[in-house]
Amino acid sequence: MILGCFGRVHGIKGFITVHSYTHPKETILDYHQWYINLTDCWEPIATSCRQLTSKNILVKIDGYENREAGMLLTNRKIAVERHKLPTLPDNEFYWHELIGLEVLNQHQTKIGWVSDILATGSNDVLVVTN
């Protein structure tokens, strides 16, 4: 389950920013085992330091100890195991559970399927493709 991606390196000591897709954004730090797709498969990575600043989430990844090494992670997706996600209350769903679902109108006629979800700030918009 993809929960974010790495952004720019921060400073010279190997810190890298994290763009979290979770809400609130710092929830991504609750997951201790992250995975990254560096080759053809997802590989576990270990963080040696995690910091939440007023503007950013910063992490240091074991084995990526300097700025140049950290740059290799820029734009790489961060994933966790799906079963690690918290259980939701009844009638609440994660976005990934809605993608691909059939959409019906009030007459039960199929009008398409959910192809994407957009977070607009005031509400979430389901993109329906037919």
CATH of the domain at 41: 2.40.30.60
Residues 100 and 80 in one domain: no
Query: Is 4 strand, coil or helix?
Result: strand
- Cβ-proximal residues to 29 (8 Å cutoff; 6+ apart), any chain: 50, 52, 57
Question: How confident is the model over 96-115, as a mean pLDDT?
Answer: 95
Chain centroid offset of residue 41 CA: 17
Query: Which residues is 113 bridged to in the sheet?
Result: 102, 129
What is residue 95's predicted lDDT score, i.e. its pLDDT?
87
Residues 6 and 65 in one domain: yes
Rounded CA-CA distance 59/28 in Å is 11
Residue 89 lies in a domain: no
Domain of 123? Answer: 95-129
Nearest to residue 97, comparing CAs of 88, 105, 106? 88
Rounded CA-CA distance 1/84 in Å is 9
Residue 120 lies in a domain: yes
Structure confidence at residue 99 as a pLDDT band (50, 70, 90): very high
pLDDT in tens, 35-52: 998 888 899 999 989 999
Residues 21 and 79 in one domain: yes
Residues 35 and 69 in one domain: yes
Q: How many domains does the chain have?
A: 2
Nearest to residue 20, comparing CAs of 48, 71, 65, 59? 59
